[in-house]
Amino acid sequence: MLRYDRNLKQLSRQLRENMTDAERHLWAKIRMKQLKGYQFYRQKPIGDYIVDFFCPREKLVIEIDGGQHFSDETSQYDRIRDEYMSSLGLRVLRFTNTDVLTHTEGVVERIDEEIPLSPPGGNPPWSPFTKGGERAYPPVLKGERTSPFLKGRLRGI
* pLDDT-derived band at 151, boundaries 50, 70, 90: very low
Q: pLDDT digit string (tens) for 31-67?
A: 999 999 999 999 999 999 999 999 999 999 999 998 6
Burial of 95 (0-12, 13-18, 19+ CB in 10 A): buried
Q: Which domains does the chain have, with CATH numbers?
A: 8-123 (3.40.960.10), 126-157 (no CATH)
Q: Mind spelling out the 3-state secondary structure of the chain?
A: CCCECCCHHHHHHHHHHCCCHHHHHHHHHHCCCCCCCCCCEEEEEEECEEEEEEECCCCEEEEEECHHHHCHHHHHHHHHHHHHHHHCCCEEEEEEHHHHHHCHHHHHHHHHHCCCCCCCCCCCCCCCECCCCCECCCCCCCCCCCCHHHHHHHCCC
pTM listed for this prediction: 0.73
